[in-house]
A = this chain, B = another copy of it.
Amino acid sequence: MIYIERTESFSAAHQLFNPKWTDEQNDAVFGKCANRAYHGHNFQLTVVVKGEVNPDTGFVLNLVDLKQVMMEHVVDRVDHKNLNVDVPFLLGVLPSTENLAIAFWALLQQPIANLGGTLHCIRLRETDKNAVEYYGE
């Protein structure tokens, strides 16, 4: 068993705002992240896949295929978008880094299984100082 990882980046706008709360509650909890006209980040998405090494290729899976899965299922759908309003699979989701990682796991688990690997971890970095890791449970 070995773990391989691939990192891709995307740039997106978002806002942390709970529509069930008043403006005052949102400002108290989310502070400047609740800015009404949004703010944004360069996000770094790292996908960690585990599996056995194929003796004919030396690969767990081909990183060209993993990149294609990441681009098709996640990156191309969120890059240069507004995560609150532009992305169908995120509608109704409060786009915190935690919730984004969980949503990306749901989109990537099956396509990665189809490539012959097992999704192990979604790592999502929002800034040099902040990141999350999700292991699917």
> A-side interface residues toward B, CB under 8 Å?
1-9, 11-14, 16, 18, 20-21, 29-33, 35, 37-42, 48, 53, 56-60, 62-64, 79-82, 84-86, 93-99, 101-102, 127-135, 137
Contact = CB atoms under 8 A, between A and B. Distances in A.
Given A3-B134, A4-B131, 6 more contacts: A13-B40, A20-B56, A30-B57, A32-B80, A37-B38, A58-B95
B133 A3 contact: yes
Nearest to A101: B2
A81 B130 contact: no
A101 B57 CA distance: 15
A97 B60 CA distance: 10
A39 B81 contact: yes
Contacts of A32: 79-80
A13 B16 CA distance: 13
A39 B11 contact: yes
A98 B133 contact: no
B133 A2 contact: yes
Contact of A53 (B40, B64, B79, B98): B98
